[in-house]
Structure 1
Amino acid sequence: MKTSELLVACLEEEGIEYIFGIPGEENADFMMALEQSDAIKFILTRHEQGAAFMAEVYGRLTGTPAGCLGTLGPGATNLITGVADANMDRAPMIVLTGQGASTRLHKESHQIMDVVAMFKPVTKWATTILHPASVPEIVRKAVRLARSEKPGACLIELPEDIAKIDTDAKPMTPHRYRRPVADPEQIDKAFTMLRAAKRPIILAGNGCIRRRASAELRRFCETTGIGVINTFMAKGCVDMDADYCLYTIGLQAKDVVSCALDAADLVITLGYDMVEYHPRLWNKEKDKQIIHIDFMPAEIDQQYHPELELVGDLAHTLATINDNIDTLGAVQRNLSQQSATRAEMQRQLLEYADDETEGLIRPQKVLADARAVMGAEDILLSDVGAHKMWIARYYQCHEPNTCLIPNGFCSMGFALPGAIAAAMVHPDRNILAICGDAGFLMNVQEMETAKRLNSNIVVMVWEDNAYGLIAWKQQNEFGHHTDLAFGNPNWMLLAESFGWHGHHVKKSVELQDTLKQAFTESGPSLIVIPIDYRENMLLTEKMGDIVCSI
């Protein structure tokens, strides 16, 4: 077979189901080989960035990488933002790019650039296929690295002349391995620290949304009653209805949830990733006693210097702790701050849930309605903007991976293409993407992809005719903001032109019924609402007035 055919065969052997992207001349041989595959489906997108976001969401929801594909030069550069987002949000992904002939890579030549060097900072590994016989090893290594903790992106580049060479090489059969487990002696030390702690707290991060880890975390909390604070990307690691769920932290400013962290005499971090929420924001004085439990050793940081690290498979570590929890014995704990934190957050989460004002609609009302309509397993995807902060604080979850927020690299344009992939993974669930008017238009071309695939998704746009998050942050720091306003299309004509269902909601009392209707419609639906971002500064003032009574 040709090298290009071997590459497809190796990807099939790895269980790759989807490749999203836009082909070019330099990967034509690969595309001809992919067309013959019964195992891998190619999804044509309208922009390479959209393809990368689709592959990212597929990886986040399944734990298995999908592929995203672009040609050389501008095709590859268009991929890079979505690839960086997946890599920093710890989603497994295989990036496939074409390249000019290997005979011209050493000199100035049309569209030639060093793609591998360009992608190295935003992937776990990046390489070029320079010999057909290396393809099986390269694919095996790329997929293994992409899946391994912490998951991320790996790039494979195939020059057009190498793609045509005949080869007798065969795919390698994947052999999975068991992840290492934490040292039993270290687990005993953790029990000693737990016995001494009167006000322990759990800070759960991205690693806790793996389903096995979430199940063991819930088991631990049911036994001990210790409260869980989750980062943006760890939503749903424990059920929002559980007494030990203390909701979400990470809005930078001091929030109610911070009070429980302030009061803690022991912080147990589980799958914590400081790209989301830096420890200087919760351990400024460097005085917190910390147990770090994760797949990887702790990142070195002055504000994050754990006394104990349990390094190994997170679910296995928690299971071992749970299986030996009886040895902990009776412990007198003071969970009053934890209870007060939950009660106050519950009160605030219900604020404006029944608001009936006309005109601009409050973010709190929108998210209360979304939560009321969405089932426990349904999936909400947030784009990046002011709405992301509101979703992080006010939209809580029952199950892992039911609220997807890009919070490592934080790229705008994520939610629309991501929703398309989510609907492919879970066609039986309601899929809701919430975007700002700025972020939505960054990948608006994927409306055609959604229509072509007849994706059953609902995209809600919060319209404020400005870069609202930037205005919010500038207002906080400088007392005013620069000119950040822009115009918008006629949304209903936009929806009609792409063959979408369209809804323009102007009264808050109509929102919940409109959401229900949109979820019953076949194919994609657009809901546009005028959002009341006057609430942004009111939230800032509220958080600035927080005083913890510990």
Structure 2
Amino acid sequence: MDTAHQIVKVLEDRDVKYVFGIPGEENIHLVDAINQSDKIKFILVRHEQGASFMAGVYGRLTGKPGVAAATLGPGAINLLLGVADSQTNSTPMIAITAQGGLDRIYKESHQVIDLKAMFQPITKWSTHIYEAKTTSEIIGKAYDKSVNGRPGPVYIGVPQDVEEQETGSQISTFSMPKESNEPNPKLIEKAARLIKNAKHPVVMAGMGIVRNHAEKELNAFIEKTHLPVATTFMGKGSVDDRSKYALGVIGFMAHDYGNFAFDQADLILSIGYELSEFNPVRINPKANKTIIHMSTFSEDSDEHYPVKVNIISDIDKSIRALSDCLNDFKSSETKADIREEVEAEIASGKVESKVPLTPQQIISATRESVDDKGIVLVDTGALKMWMARLYPTYAPNTCLIDNGLSTMSWSLPGAIGAKLAKPDHHILSVMGDGSFMMNSQELETAVRYHIPITILLWVDKSYGLIKWKMDMEMGHHSEVDFDNPDFVEYVESFGANAHIVSSRNDLKNKLQNYLKNDNQVNVLICPVDYRENMKLINKLGKVTVSL
């Protein structure tokens, strides 16, 4: 068995179902070996960046590494953004690219650059297969490294001549059992004492809860202890927003409703939070709060995140142990006033009007249209701030936000990965027009493979988040406005459906219809009124006084 087929065999044995990528001259044997597999489907994309985003979202939703493949040189370089995104989001991924043959990678040569060194800073492991006989062990190790400990991407380069060499084996190495750790009882007891003695304890729920499937334990813990809880952007869904103890999200660029709970807090129980999600100075500006860190790995050092108790274990086990140790403890910190502010702002979006619609109107119509299991991917831009703040989320992995690297344009290709990972769920990508034009070519990929997804475009002909930031800090903006093509003609040229929204009711009805049918690629084009951006900032300044 040659190297190419050995790679495929190991991936098959690890239950890999898709490889996203583009073939090149130097990896044709690997692509052909994948094509011969009856267990793995090759998804041909229109740009390697799209492949990396598809693989990243697939890994985020399944907990298994998404696999992206590319040729050497420029093809490999195009994978970098999605690989770095997976690294900052702690998402399992395997990136496999071609490389020049062993007879030339040590010197200056056509399309040869040091890919191993290039991928090293943004992966858990970066290596080449220098000898065919090592293929099985390297691919197996790559898979295990990707999922164990803090999940993340790995990179494997396959020199062109090694790809065709015989491995001398058809054996696939056994996978390493996932790591599992019990919480330290003494640390649990210490954390319980601190919580009981705190005057204003609050819980912060991060993306680690979702990734480790500890949402059931967290919700039971919150209902038992009555502790108020706010999620990070990427932790949305870890707590059911219908809970009376849920405060919404933390991490907005301005001082938002949830921040007031942290202003008053003397203790923060931080569960599954990662520093890449947002700067902790926003919740602990004076670095004087007691922090209990509960995760599967220790965080990096930060002066505004001084950890008093560091509980490193399986998160579900830690939550159960802490719950037991707290006995009948119940907090009196309900923070009902904060919930009322969030609910009032959501309710303001239920008013009917013609376009352009306010962010509140688009969000409320979207929530009314998407079922509880529907998966919404929220791209980066001004809309991310609004969706993170106001889109009620009831279950984990039903509102995906990228707040690690916070790259633009990930959600359209990501929607393809999401539908392949969760075929029984409705998939909605929410994007700005700036993000859409960066990766819109992947509409053709979705159409060609008959992958039903819906894209909702918030159209303002601007890089809205940067405009918002400029207006906040400088009182004016520049170099952020642009024009768009005729979106209807553009979208239909790919074979997808397009509709320009005329009102809030039109948005709701059309979106419900697209999601219910779930059999085509659809794009809804909705003009948005971002004058609400500065109105929000002014309002939050006044709310500070009342809360």
Query: What is the TM-score when the length of structure 2 is the normalising length?
Result: 0.97
State the Cα deviation string for residues 63-113 of structure 1 (Å, max 9, x = none).
Answer: 111200110001011111111111111110000100111110111111111
Matches for 1:391-402 after TM superposition, within 5 Å:
391-402=387-398
**Would the aligned equivalents of 1:298 and 1:309 in 2 still touch at CA under 8 Å?**
no
CA displacement at 1:548 relative to structure 2: 5.4
Match of 1:124 in 2: 124
Whichever residue aligns with residue 114 of structure 1, its letter is D
Moved more, 65-74 or 483-492: 483-492
Alignment counterpart, residue 338 of structure 2, candidates 316, 336, 341: 341
Q: Distance in 2 between matches of 1:408 and 1:62?
A: 19
Secondary structure in 1 matching 2:523: strand
Mapping of residues 108-507 of structure 1, within 5 Å: 108-169=108-169, 170-210=171-211, 212-326=213-327, 329-330=328-329, 333-336=331-334, 338-351=335-348, 353-507=349-503
Deviation at 1:545, TM superposition (A): 2.8
- Say which is worse superposed, 165-174 or 228-237, in terms of deviation: 165-174
* Residues 1-22 of structure 1, C-alpha deviations (whole Å, 9 max, x = no match): 1111111111122221111000
Contact conserved, 2:212 with 2:315, CA < 8 A, in 1? no
Residue 75 of structure 2 is matched in structure 1 by 75
Counterpart in the other structure of 1:532: 529
Name 1:544's counterpart in structure 2.
541
2:310 counterpart SS class: strand
Check whether the contact 1:427–1:456 (CA below 8 A) recurs between aligned residues.
no
Give 1:501 shift.
1.2
In 2, distance between residues paired with 1:134 and 1:442? Answer: 39
Larger displacement relative to structure 2 (342-351 or 15-24): 342-351
Greater alpha carbon shift after TM alignment, 516-525 vs 453-462: 516-525
**SS of residue in 2 equivalent to 1:98:** strand
Query: Residue by residue, what CA displacement relative to the aligned partner does 1:505-542 show, whole Å, maximum 9, x if unpaired?
Result: 12223211111122226210110011101111111222
Structure 1: segments with no counterpart, 5+ residues: none
Say which SS state the counterpart of residue 68 (structure 1) adopts: strand
For the Cα contact (< 8 Å) 1:64–1:147, is it kept in 2?
A: yes
* Counterpart code for 1:354: K
What percentage of aligned pairs have identical amino acids? 39
Are 2:96 and 1:96 equivalent residues in the alignment?
Answer: yes
Deviations 1:256-279 (A, max 9, x none): 111111111210000111111111
Distance 2:461 2:178 in 1: 51
- Mean CA deviation greater in 436-445 or 180-189: 180-189
2: CA distance, partners of 1:161 / 1:184: 54
Q: Residues 477 and 548 (structure 1 numbering): CA distance in 2 closer, same or farther, change over 3 Å?
A: same
Contact kept? 2:352, 2:504, Cα under 8 Å:
yes
CA–CA distance in 1 between the matches of 2:213 and 2:107? 50
Q: Is the 8 A contact 1:211 1:400 kept in 2?
A: no
1:379-404: CA deviations, max 9, x gaps? 00011111111111111200000011
Aligned counterpart, 1:45: 45
1:275-310 deviations in Å (ceiling 9; x for gaps)? 111111111101101111011113211111111111
Q: CA deviation at 1:324?
A: 4.1
Q: CA RMSD in A?
A: 1.4
CA contact (8 A) 2:355 2:501 kept: no
Corresponding letter in the other structure for 1:407: N
**2:329 and 2:492 mapped to 1: Cα distance?**
64
Secondary structure in 2 matching 1:321: helix
Shift of 1:153: 0.5
Query: 1 CA distance for matches of 2:178 and 2:107?
Result: 42
- 1:269 maps to a residue whose letter is S
Deviation sequence 1:150-206 (CA, Å, 0-9, x none):
211000110010111112232101131342222111111111112212321100111
Distance in 1 between residues matched to 2:307 and 2:546, nearest whole Å: 26
- In structure 1, the partner of 2:17 is 17
Structure 1 contact 254–546 (Cα < 8 Å) conserved: no
Structure 1 residue 211: Cα displacement? 5.8
- 1:521–1:32 CA distance, 2 compared to 1 (3 A): closer
Could you tell me how far 1:483 is from its partner in structure 2? 2.4
CA–CA distance in structure 1, aligned partners of residues 424 and 5 of structure 2: 34
> 3-state SS of the aligned residue for 2:8?
helix
What CA distance in whole angstroms lies between the structure 2 residues aligned with 1:141 and 1:179?
A: 18
Shift of 1:330: 4.6
TM-score, length of structure 1 as denominator length: 0.96
Paired residues of 1:201 and 1:228 also in contact (CA < 8 A): yes
Instruction: Judge conservation of contact 1:259–1:548 (CA < 8 Å) in 2.
Output: no
Q: Which amino acid aligns with 2:254?
A: A
Q: Distance in 1 between matches of 2:544 and 2:491?
A: 46
SS at match of 1:432: strand
Which whole-Å deviations, capped at 9, do the CAs of 1:416-440 have from their partners, x for residues lacking one?
Answer: 1111111112222221111110100
Amino acid at match of 1:371: R
Whichever residue aligns with residue 304 of structure 1, its letter is Y
Q: CA deviation at 1:350?
A: 1.4
- SS at the partner of 2:543? coil
Conservation of the 8 A alpha-carbon contact between 1:387 and 1:462: yes
In structure 2, runs of 5+ residues without a counterpart are none
* Offset at residue 355 of structure 1 (A): 2.1
Q: Secondary structure at the match of 2:429?
A: strand
Contact kept in structure 1, 2:342 and 2:390, CA below 8 Å: no
After TM superposition, the runs of 4+ consecutive aligned structure 1 residues lying more than 6 A away are none
Cα distance in 2 for residues equivalent to 1:86 and 1:365: 32
Q: For residues 286 and 370 of structure 1, what CA distance do their matches in structure 2 show?
A: 38
Q: Is the 8 A contact 1:94 1:146 kept in 2?
A: yes
| Contact 1:216–1:322 (CA under 8 A) maintained in structure 2 | no
CA contact (8 A) 1:208 1:214 kept: yes
C-alpha separation between the residues in 2 aligned to 1:161 and 1:391? 49
Cα offsets for 1:299-332 (capped at 9, x unmatched): 2111111111111111111122234442xx455x
* Bigger shift: residues 57-66 or 34-43: 34-43
Moved more, 251-260 or 5-14: 5-14
Q: Deviations over 1:491-511 (max 9, x none)?
A: 111122111111101222321
Residue deviations 1:14-62, cap 9 Å, x none?
2211110001011111112212212211111110000000001101111
Secondary structure class of the residue paired with 2:431: strand
